[in-house]
Amino acid sequence: MSRPDTFFNFDDLGEGIARKLAQGIVARVFVGEQAMLSVVSFDPHSEGSIHSHAEEQWGVLLSGSGIRTQDGLEVPVEQGDFWCTPSHVEHGFSAGASGARVLDIFAPPREAYRATGTGFAT
């Protein structure tokens, strides 16, 4: 039996919408009607820009380590840690020495992520 088209795998690089967020940071985006999931891979010591957006965002550190910056606070995080970022709160992430992989969940989906391609601001 084959999988329905609503089932995915984090490790299948052929699934989702591929996005380059910044140097050393790539994402695969999966968009639904009410929420969106993004699997973001960070090279060692790479960092995303501080930014904000209207959508609520939950993040889970799947592997690696880093520093989560949120609302002016820098919080060290390790595998298994997760966080909630309310709408319009400034935030960013810096990966540790081994890099990191983060699962982000957005509600509602971010419109900027719906289009295919690369090069948008996170």
The pair of three-digit structure tokens given for residue 10, joined into one six-digit string: 């984090």
Q: How many residues are listed for the chain in this entry?
A: 122
End-to-end Cα, the chain, rounded Å? 37
- pLDDT for residue 71: 94
Return the SS3 of 84. Answer: strand
- pLDDT for residue 14: 86
The pair of three-digit structure tokens given for residue 43, joined into one six-digit string: 């090279």
**Side chain identity at residue 110, one-letter code:** R
- pLDDT for residue 5: 80
* Whole-angstrom distance, CA of residue 32 vs CA of residue 39: 14
Local confidence pLDDT in tens for the 122 residues of the chain: 787 888 888 888 888 889 999 999 999 999 988 999 999 999 999 999 999 999 999 999 999 999 999 999 999 999 999 999 999 999 999 999 999 999 999 999 988 776 654 433 33
Homologous superfamily of 17-112:
Jelly Rolls (2.60.120.10)
